Amino acid sequence: MIALLQRVSTAQVSVGGETIGAIGHGLLGCVGVVRDDDRAQADRLLQRVLDYRVFADAQDRMNLSLRQAGGGLLLVPQFTLAADTDRGNRASFSHACAPEQAAALFEYLLAQAAAAHAPLAAGRFGAHMQVSLVNDGPVTFWLESQNAAVHP
């Protein structure tokens, strides 16, 4: 699994003009599911998201995780993160997980995140979403679980 993780001052996701999830200070994680991902990969990715040190400590160094600093977590499914862009002018999605399995893994990730962290908000799998954010820093990281090598 892949997460494009952004430290935000605020972020929200809307579907059809209706806000379905919003956070203030915290992390926005756009999540991609690649072929052969499983629940162990989702667990590993969530642990990395919650423990990745992206918030400033008293010395203004990025030494604090979301668990330590507090704040919201907004998870948004984004299959385009699994794109293979090595050749040509159009992405290939041959590395992406099948939609039914990807949806189930994203829902599993959300359930695990809800048990581990609050506040939590989420996008809707398969929906056309509008995501707005104020990237704080800007601070953006690409995280992968061990199975997520998009380019073997």
Q: In this predicted model, what pLDDT tens digit does every residue of 20-44 receive, in sequence order? A: 999 999 999 999 999 999 999 999 9
**CA nearest to 3, candidates 152, 151, 140, 122:** 140
* Residue in 80, 85, 130, 140 annotated catalytic: 80
The whole-model pTM stands at: 0.93
pLDDT bin (cut points 50, 70, 90) of residue 111 is very high
Q: State how far the Cα of 125 lies from the Cα of 130, in Å rounded to an integer.
A: 13
Whether 79 sits among the annotated catalytic residues: the reply is: yes
Q: State how far the Cα of 105 lies from the Cα of 41, in Å rounded to an integer.
A: 9
- Length of the chain in terms of residues written: 152
* Residue in 6, 78, 106, 125 annotated catalytic: 78
* For range 51-64, the mean pLDDT: 97
Locate all alpha helices (DSSP H) within the chain, ordered by sequence: 39-51, 66-69, 99-116
Q: State how far the Cα of 37 lies from the Cα of 100, in Å rounded to an integer.
A: 12
The topology under which CATH files domain 2-144 is D-tyrosyl-trna(Tyr) Deacylase; Chain: A; (3.50.80)
